[in-house]
Protein backbone atom coordinates (compact mmCIF):
# COMPACT_ATOMS: atom_id res chain seq x y z
CA UNK A 1 0.00 0.00 0.00
CA UNK A 2 1.39 3.40 -0.99
CA UNK A 3 2.36 5.87 1.71
CA UNK A 4 -0.14 8.37 0.29
CA UNK A 5 -3.05 5.93 0.65
CA UNK A 6 -6.21 6.93 2.48
CA UNK A 7 -6.47 4.71 5.57
CA UNK A 8 -9.85 3.81 7.02
CA UNK A 9 -10.00 4.07 10.81
CA UNK A 10 -11.76 2.33 13.66
CA UNK A 11 -12.73 5.15 16.02
CA UNK A 12 -13.33 4.94 19.76
CA UNK A 13 -16.71 5.46 21.45
CA UNK A 14 -16.48 6.92 24.95
CA UNK A 15 -19.26 6.28 27.45
CA UNK A 16 -20.27 8.92 30.00
CA UNK A 17 -23.48 9.36 31.97
CA UNK A 18 -24.46 12.42 29.92
CA UNK A 19 -24.34 10.56 26.60
CA UNK A 20 -27.15 9.35 24.34
CA UNK A 21 -28.34 5.77 23.93
CA UNK A 22 -29.55 6.48 20.39
CA UNK A 23 -27.58 9.18 18.55
CA UNK A 24 -24.22 7.49 17.99
CA UNK A 25 -25.77 4.03 17.70
CA UNK A 26 -28.08 5.20 14.91
CA UNK A 27 -25.34 7.17 13.17
CA UNK A 28 -23.14 4.06 13.15
CA UNK A 29 -25.91 1.67 12.12
CA UNK A 30 -25.80 -0.26 15.40
CA UNK A 31 -28.68 -1.50 17.58
CA UNK A 32 -30.52 1.37 19.25
CA UNK A 33 -30.92 2.09 22.08
CA UNK A 34 -27.40 1.10 23.12
CA UNK A 35 -26.92 -0.74 26.45
CA UNK A 36 -25.12 2.24 27.98
CA UNK A 37 -24.97 5.98 27.16
CA UNK A 38 -22.57 6.74 24.31
CA UNK A 39 -21.21 10.25 24.67
CA UNK A 40 -18.24 10.85 22.36
CA UNK A 41 -16.81 9.37 19.19
CA UNK A 42 -13.07 10.12 19.14
CA UNK A 43 -11.37 10.28 15.74
CA UNK A 44 -7.66 10.99 15.91
CA UNK A 45 -4.38 10.13 17.55
CA UNK A 46 -4.71 11.31 21.14
CA UNK A 47 -2.72 8.77 23.19
CA UNK A 48 -5.59 8.23 25.63
CA UNK A 49 -7.88 6.76 22.94
CA UNK A 50 -6.29 6.73 19.48
CA UNK A 51 -8.21 5.52 16.46
CA UNK A 52 -6.78 2.37 14.89
CA UNK A 53 -6.03 1.55 11.29
CA UNK A 54 -8.87 -0.67 10.08
CA UNK A 55 -7.83 -4.20 9.24
CA UNK A 56 -4.57 -4.23 11.20
CA UNK A 57 -5.41 -2.53 14.50
CA UNK A 58 -2.33 -0.30 14.61
CA UNK A 59 -3.02 2.82 16.72
CA UNK A 60 -2.91 5.98 14.65
CA UNK A 61 -0.42 7.66 16.99
CA UNK A 62 1.96 4.71 16.60
CA UNK A 63 1.46 4.77 12.82
CA UNK A 64 2.42 8.46 12.73
CA UNK A 65 5.41 7.93 15.01
CA UNK A 66 6.86 5.46 12.52
CA UNK A 67 7.06 8.09 9.75
CA UNK A 68 6.18 11.56 11.06
CA UNK A 69 7.83 13.54 8.27
CA UNK A 70 6.16 11.54 5.52
CA UNK A 71 2.70 11.26 7.04
CA UNK A 72 2.37 14.68 8.67
CA UNK A 73 4.38 16.76 6.21
CA UNK A 74 7.21 19.20 6.93
CA UNK A 75 5.06 22.20 7.85
CA UNK A 76 2.97 20.37 10.45
CA UNK A 77 6.02 18.57 11.81
CA UNK A 78 7.92 21.84 12.25
CA UNK A 79 4.99 23.65 13.88
CA UNK A 80 3.53 20.95 16.12
CA UNK A 81 6.06 18.15 16.39
CA UNK A 82 5.63 14.47 15.51
CA UNK A 83 1.93 14.22 16.39
CA UNK A 84 -1.42 14.98 14.85
CA UNK A 85 -2.22 18.54 15.99
CA UNK A 86 -6.01 18.15 16.14
CA UNK A 87 -8.68 15.81 17.53
CA UNK A 88 -12.09 15.29 15.88
CA UNK A 89 -15.16 14.18 17.83
CA UNK A 90 -18.89 13.65 17.62
CA UNK A 91 -20.64 14.69 20.83
CA UNK A 92 -24.01 13.13 21.68
CA UNK A 93 -25.35 15.10 24.64
CA UNK A 94 -28.50 13.94 26.46
CA UNK A 95 -27.71 15.57 29.81
CA UNK A 96 -25.61 18.65 30.68
CA UNK A 97 -21.84 18.45 30.63
CA UNK A 98 -19.80 20.07 33.37
CA UNK A 99 -19.25 23.82 33.58
CA UNK A 100 -15.67 23.97 32.34
CA UNK A 101 -12.78 25.91 30.86
CA UNK A 102 -9.68 24.98 28.88
CA UNK A 103 -6.17 26.47 29.03
CA UNK A 104 -4.30 28.21 26.24
CA UNK A 105 -0.95 26.90 24.94
CA UNK A 106 1.24 28.75 27.43
CA UNK A 107 -0.81 27.83 30.48
CA UNK A 108 -1.16 24.25 29.29
CA UNK A 109 2.62 23.88 29.14
CA UNK A 110 2.97 25.32 32.65
CA UNK A 111 0.07 23.28 33.99
CA UNK A 112 1.45 20.08 32.50
CA UNK A 113 4.84 20.68 34.08
CA UNK A 114 3.65 21.95 37.46
CA UNK A 115 -0.01 21.09 38.11
CA UNK A 116 -0.74 17.68 36.64
CA UNK A 117 -2.58 18.71 33.48
CA UNK A 118 -3.28 15.78 31.16
CA UNK A 119 -1.57 17.41 28.15
CA UNK A 120 0.96 20.15 27.40
CA UNK A 121 -1.30 21.62 24.72
CA UNK A 122 -4.03 24.24 24.80
CA UNK A 123 -7.59 23.34 23.87
CA UNK A 124 -9.49 25.77 21.66
CA UNK A 125 -12.44 24.09 19.97
CA UNK A 126 -15.21 24.62 17.42
CA UNK A 127 -18.52 22.75 17.44
CA UNK A 128 -20.91 22.42 14.49
CA UNK A 129 -24.45 21.30 15.27
CA UNK A 130 -25.85 18.19 13.57
CA UNK A 131 -29.16 18.60 15.42
CA UNK A 132 -30.54 21.52 17.38
CA UNK A 133 -27.80 21.99 19.97
CA UNK A 134 -28.10 23.87 23.27
CA UNK A 135 -25.02 25.24 25.00
CA UNK A 136 -23.83 27.88 27.43
CA UNK A 137 -20.80 29.81 26.21
CA UNK A 138 -19.08 32.91 27.52
CA UNK A 139 -20.25 35.75 29.74
CA UNK A 140 -23.43 37.52 28.71
CA UNK A 141 -23.29 41.31 28.56
CA UNK A 142 -23.42 42.45 32.23
CA UNK A 143 -26.30 44.87 31.63
CA UNK A 144 -28.41 42.09 30.12
CA UNK A 145 -27.59 39.80 33.03
CA UNK A 146 -28.52 42.48 35.56
CA UNK A 147 -31.88 42.87 33.83
CA UNK A 148 -32.48 39.12 34.02
CA UNK A 149 -31.52 39.06 37.69
CA UNK A 150 -34.01 41.86 38.39
CA UNK A 151 -36.70 39.83 36.65
CA UNK A 152 -35.64 36.76 38.65
CA UNK A 153 -36.13 38.70 41.91
CA UNK A 154 -34.04 36.55 44.26
CA UNK A 155 -32.67 38.70 47.13
CA UNK A 156 -29.91 36.20 47.85
CA UNK A 157 -28.29 37.17 44.55
CA UNK A 158 -27.61 40.75 45.67
CA UNK A 159 -23.81 40.20 45.88
CA UNK A 160 -23.80 39.01 42.26
CA UNK A 161 -25.84 42.02 41.15
CA UNK A 162 -23.50 44.37 43.00
CA UNK A 163 -20.43 42.85 41.35
CA UNK A 164 -21.99 43.18 37.90
CA UNK A 165 -23.00 46.79 38.58
CA UNK A 166 -19.34 47.49 39.38
CA UNK A 167 -18.24 45.89 36.12
CA UNK A 168 -16.71 42.92 37.95
CA UNK A 169 -17.97 39.88 36.05
CA UNK A 170 -15.14 37.77 37.45
CA UNK A 171 -16.20 38.78 40.97
CA UNK A 172 -19.80 37.81 40.22
CA UNK A 173 -18.64 34.39 39.08
CA UNK A 174 -16.33 34.00 42.07
CA UNK A 175 -19.23 34.67 44.42
CA UNK A 176 -21.53 32.31 42.52
CA UNK A 177 -19.07 29.41 42.65
CA UNK A 178 -18.17 29.92 46.31
CA UNK A 179 -21.50 30.99 47.83
CA UNK A 180 -24.19 30.24 45.26
CA UNK A 181 -24.93 26.74 46.44
CA UNK A 182 -27.00 28.18 49.28
CA UNK A 183 -29.54 29.81 46.94
CA UNK A 184 -29.87 27.15 44.21
CA UNK A 185 -33.38 26.07 45.27
CA UNK A 186 -34.67 29.64 45.31
CA UNK A 187 -33.01 30.43 42.00
CA UNK A 188 -34.45 27.29 40.40
CA UNK A 189 -38.01 28.10 41.47
CA UNK A 190 -37.75 31.66 40.18
CA UNK A 191 -35.98 30.67 36.94
CA UNK A 192 -38.84 28.34 35.99
CA UNK A 193 -40.97 31.46 35.49
CA UNK A 194 -38.46 33.41 33.37
CA UNK A 195 -38.42 32.09 29.78
CA UNK A 196 -34.81 33.16 29.13
CA UNK A 197 -33.64 31.27 32.23
CA UNK A 198 -35.63 28.04 32.13
CA UNK A 199 -32.43 26.17 31.28
CA UNK A 200 -31.21 27.18 34.76
CA UNK A 201 -34.22 25.48 36.35
CA UNK A 202 -33.48 22.40 34.23
CA UNK A 203 -29.88 22.39 35.44
CA UNK A 204 -31.03 22.53 39.06
CA UNK A 205 -33.15 19.41 38.56
CA UNK A 206 -30.07 17.53 37.36
CA UNK A 207 -27.61 19.13 39.80
CA UNK A 208 -29.48 20.22 42.98
CA UNK A 209 -27.42 22.36 45.35
CA UNK A 210 -24.60 22.70 42.77
CA UNK A 211 -23.19 26.25 42.71
CA UNK A 212 -22.67 25.86 38.96
CA UNK A 213 -26.43 26.37 38.57
CA UNK A 214 -26.06 29.92 39.89
CA UNK A 215 -22.94 30.52 37.79
CA UNK A 216 -24.96 29.57 34.71
CA UNK A 217 -26.99 32.78 35.21
CA UNK A 218 -23.98 34.70 33.90
CA UNK A 219 -23.54 32.84 30.62
CA UNK A 220 -24.94 33.16 27.12
CA UNK A 221 -27.60 30.53 26.41
CA UNK A 222 -27.25 29.51 22.76
CA UNK A 223 -29.38 27.25 20.57
CA UNK A 224 -27.65 26.24 17.35
CA UNK A 225 -29.56 24.96 14.34
CA UNK A 226 -27.96 22.22 12.22
CA UNK A 227 -24.95 23.65 10.41
CA UNK A 228 -24.49 26.54 12.83
CA UNK A 229 -21.40 26.62 15.02
CA UNK A 230 -19.92 28.00 18.22
CA UNK A 231 -16.25 28.73 18.81
CA UNK A 232 -14.83 28.25 22.31
CA UNK A 233 -11.52 29.96 22.89
CA UNK A 234 -9.26 28.92 25.77
CA UNK A 235 -10.47 30.58 28.94
CA UNK A 236 -14.14 30.73 27.89
CA UNK A 237 -16.47 29.24 30.50
CA UNK A 238 -18.98 26.90 28.85
CA UNK A 239 -21.23 23.89 29.28
CA UNK A 240 -22.95 21.90 26.55
CA UNK A 241 -26.53 21.04 27.48
CA UNK A 242 -28.22 18.96 24.78
CA UNK A 243 -27.85 17.87 21.15
CA UNK A 244 -25.49 16.21 18.69
CA UNK A 245 -22.55 17.99 17.09
CA UNK A 246 -19.16 17.58 15.44
CA UNK A 247 -16.34 19.10 17.46
CA UNK A 248 -12.77 19.82 16.35
CA UNK A 249 -10.09 20.95 18.77
CA UNK A 250 -6.38 21.05 19.37
CA UNK A 251 -5.20 17.54 20.26
CA UNK A 252 -5.67 17.96 24.00
CA UNK A 253 -7.86 16.66 26.81
CA UNK A 254 -7.20 19.48 29.28
CA UNK A 255 -10.41 20.28 31.18
CA UNK A 256 -10.82 22.24 34.44
CA UNK A 257 -14.30 22.01 35.95
CA UNK A 258 -16.20 24.60 37.96
CA UNK A 259 -19.45 22.75 38.64
CA UNK A 260 -22.44 20.83 37.23
CA UNK A 261 -20.58 17.57 37.71
CA UNK A 262 -20.00 14.80 40.25
CA UNK A 263 -16.31 14.95 39.28
CA UNK A 264 -13.72 17.00 41.13
CA UNK A 265 -13.95 20.75 40.61
CA UNK A 266 -11.07 23.23 40.70
CA UNK A 267 -12.56 26.66 41.28
CA UNK A 268 -9.21 28.45 41.84
CA UNK A 269 -7.81 26.81 38.71
CA UNK A 270 -10.85 27.81 36.66
CA UNK A 271 -10.73 31.39 37.91
CA UNK A 272 -7.02 31.60 37.02
CA UNK A 273 -7.73 30.66 33.40
CA UNK A 274 -10.83 32.75 32.75
CA UNK A 275 -11.29 35.00 29.77
CA UNK A 276 -13.30 37.80 31.39
CA UNK A 277 -14.61 39.35 28.18
CA UNK A 278 -18.38 39.54 27.84
CA UNK A 279 -20.72 39.71 24.87
CA UNK A 280 -22.48 37.25 22.56
CA UNK A 281 -21.14 33.72 22.22
CA UNK A 282 -18.45 33.63 19.57
CA UNK A 283 -19.01 31.95 16.22
CA UNK A 284 -16.43 31.01 13.59
CA UNK A 285 -16.27 32.77 10.25
CA UNK A 286 -18.12 30.59 7.73
CA UNK A 287 -16.96 30.49 4.11
CA UNK A 288 -18.86 28.53 1.43
CA UNK A 289 -17.21 27.38 -1.77
CA UNK A 290 -19.52 25.01 -3.66
CA UNK A 291 -19.59 21.67 -1.81
CA UNK A 292 -17.09 22.91 0.79
CA UNK A 293 -18.20 24.86 3.87
CA UNK A 294 -15.30 26.07 6.04
CA UNK A 295 -15.58 27.09 9.70
CA UNK A 296 -12.61 29.41 10.11
CA UNK A 297 -11.05 30.10 13.52
CA UNK A 298 -7.69 31.73 14.36
CA UNK A 299 -6.10 28.51 15.57
CA UNK A 300 -3.07 27.17 13.66
CA UNK A 301 -3.65 23.61 14.89
CA UNK A 302 -6.93 22.95 13.08
CA UNK A 303 -9.62 23.93 10.62
CA UNK A 304 -13.01 22.26 10.16
CA UNK A 305 -14.88 21.92 6.88
CA UNK A 306 -18.25 20.36 6.02
CA UNK A 307 -18.02 18.57 2.66
CA UNK A 308 -20.41 17.02 0.17
CA UNK A 309 -20.09 15.28 -3.17
CA UNK A 310 -17.89 17.18 -5.62
CA UNK A 311 -15.47 18.46 -3.00
CA UNK A 312 -11.77 18.33 -3.86
CA UNK A 313 -9.45 18.06 -0.87
CA UNK A 314 -5.87 19.29 -1.40
CA UNK A 315 -3.24 16.99 0.07
CA UNK A 316 -1.08 19.36 2.14
CA UNK A 317 -0.67 18.22 5.73
CA UNK A 318 -2.41 15.48 7.73
CA UNK A 319 -6.19 15.21 7.44
CA UNK A 320 -9.16 13.35 8.88
CA UNK A 321 -12.47 12.72 7.13
CA UNK A 322 -15.58 11.69 9.09
CA UNK A 323 -18.90 10.67 7.51
CA UNK A 324 -21.89 11.74 9.63
CA UNK A 325 -24.72 10.46 7.44
CA UNK A 326 -25.38 8.53 4.25
CA UNK A 327 -22.17 7.40 2.57
CA UNK A 328 -19.25 9.06 0.83
CA UNK A 329 -16.37 7.78 -1.25
CA UNK A 330 -12.99 9.44 -0.82
CA UNK A 331 -10.51 8.73 -3.60
CA UNK A 332 -6.86 9.68 -3.99
CA UNK A 333 -4.10 8.54 -6.31
CA UNK A 334 -6.09 5.66 -7.77
CA UNK A 335 -7.37 4.24 -4.46
CA UNK A 336 -10.71 4.80 -2.77
CA UNK A 337 -12.38 4.21 0.59
CA UNK A 338 -16.13 4.08 1.28
CA UNK A 339 -17.26 5.73 4.52
CA UNK A 340 -20.73 5.35 6.04
CA UNK A 341 -22.26 7.10 9.04
CA UNK A 342 -19.79 7.29 11.90
CA UNK A 343 -16.88 5.94 9.83
CA UNK A 344 -13.67 7.88 9.31
CA UNK A 345 -10.36 7.90 7.48
CA UNK A 346 -6.88 9.36 7.81
CA UNK A 347 -5.40 11.12 4.77
CA UNK A 348 -1.64 11.52 5.06
CA UNK A 349 0.34 14.43 3.69
CA UNK A 350 0.51 14.16 -0.12
CA UNK A 351 0.77 17.55 -1.85
CA UNK A 352 0.99 15.94 -5.28
CA UNK A 353 -2.43 14.28 -5.06
CA UNK A 354 -5.73 15.86 -4.09
CA UNK A 355 -8.58 13.66 -2.88
CA UNK A 356 -12.09 13.73 -4.31
CA UNK A 357 -15.37 13.15 -2.48
CA UNK A 358 -18.41 11.53 -4.10
CA UNK A 359 -21.59 9.91 -2.81
CA UNK A 360 -24.87 11.03 -1.29
CA UNK A 361 -23.68 11.53 2.28
CA UNK A 362 -22.34 14.35 4.41
CA UNK A 363 -18.89 14.45 5.94
CA UNK A 364 -16.54 16.67 7.91
CA UNK A 365 -12.93 17.25 6.93
CA UNK A 366 -10.34 18.24 9.53
CA UNK A 367 -7.09 19.90 8.44
CA UNK A 368 -4.29 21.95 9.92
CA UNK A 369 -5.25 25.63 10.25
CA UNK A 370 -3.54 28.47 8.47
CB atoms within 10 A of CB 350: 23
Helix H or strand E segment including 61: helix 60-66
d(CA 32, CA 25): 6
**Residue among 331, 369, 329 at smallest CA distance from 353:** 331
C-beta separation of 289 from 305 below 8 A = no
Helix (H), strand (E) counts: the chain: 12, 22
> What are the beta bridge partners of residue 59?
52
d(CA 66, CA 85): 16
**What SS3 class is residue 133?**
strand
Q: Respond yes or no: is residue 257 known to be catalytic.
A: yes
> What are the beta bridge partners of residue 100?
238, 257
**Residue among 176, 158, 186, 191 at smallest CA distance from 260:** 176
Contacts of 151 (CB under 8 A, 6+ apart): 194
User: What distances in angstroms separate CA 163 from CA 143, 221, 238, one per listed residue?
Assistant: 12, 21, 20
**Residue among 98, 95, 342 at smallest CA distance from 243:** 95
d(CA 71, CA 56): 18
Q: In what order do the strands lie in the sheet with 327-332?
A: 312-313, 355-359, 327-332, 335-340
d(CA 334, CA 352): 13
CB atoms within 10 A of CB 147: 13
- Residue in 28, 257, 293, 308 annotated catalytic: 257
Residues assigned a catalytic role: 257
Amino acid sequence: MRGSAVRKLDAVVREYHWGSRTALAEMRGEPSPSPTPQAELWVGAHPDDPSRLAGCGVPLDAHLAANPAGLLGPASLAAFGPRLPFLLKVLAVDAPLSLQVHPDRERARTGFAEHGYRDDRGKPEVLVALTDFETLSGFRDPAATRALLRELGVPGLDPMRAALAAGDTAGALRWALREGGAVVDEVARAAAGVPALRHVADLARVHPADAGVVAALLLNAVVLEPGQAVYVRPGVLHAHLRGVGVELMANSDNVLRAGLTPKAVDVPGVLSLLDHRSGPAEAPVVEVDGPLRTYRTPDPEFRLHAVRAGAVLPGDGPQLLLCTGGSVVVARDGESVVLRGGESAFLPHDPANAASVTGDGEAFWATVGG
